[in-house]
Structure 1
């Protein structure tokens, strides 16, 4: 799947507040996407809260930022969520925001 297609799927999940199941760094993860956009280096990124699954760092839950270029399989789940208390609307870590809660 191309990055633009992944971005469209993620933007729809953000709009519907649906969790995503995605493969990243050879680990399957369940993730609540909060912000989608481009970082200062021009990479398409998604920031959100991982609720379960693998992690290279060993932390299976917590705030994560993923590069869309490294996201493998991607599926929208019919599991809904709301914004976490720590969520930063208009996250300054993004040079451009394409979708956010």
Structure 2
């Protein structure tokens, strides 16, 4: 399930399409413009979205920025409606929170920013030159 939801959000970012989602098994639907999918410092996948309509547990009236933890999204669907990046509302793909594990983000140029999470680092021993064979 989580893989399917992640695929929906990645496609939405790449094609700049809105998504309808249900969060925390709530029946109410939220409509969002997903701008970035990333891994936070604890290793959890988060989607930064600009919520344009639907339910808000806080009672706040959309539109507003909202991070959604992927593990709490119970359903997500790609919509036909497209969006323009919300740079004037504060979005930037260079934010410090994206440095640890940006998976994808919308960019100024029209092409999405796609990055694979960095592989775990493996300690490497000191360099020892290879022995040369004398003939």
How far apart, CA to CA, are the structure 2 residues paired with 1:42 and 1:60? 30
Task: Give the alignment of 1:43-54 within 5 angstroms.
Answer: 43-54=44-55
Give the length in aligned residue pairs: 100
TM-score by length of 1: 0.92
**More relative contact order, 1 or 2 (CA 8 Å, 6+ apart):** 1
Gaps of 5+ in 1: none
Q: Does residue 91 of the first structure (1) align with residue 90 of the second (2)?
A: no
Task: Give the deviation of 1:48 after TM superposition.
Answer: 1.4
Q: CA RMSD in A?
A: 1.1
Q: Does residue 58 of the first structure (1) align with residue 90 of the second (2)?
A: no
Task: Give the deviation of 1:29 after TM superposition.
Answer: 0.1
Map of 1:79 onto structure 2: 81
How far apart, CA to CA, are the structure 1 residues paired with 2:37 and 2:46? 6
Q: Which has the higher strand share?
A: 1
TM-score by length of 2: 0.70
Gaps of 5+ in 2: 107-135
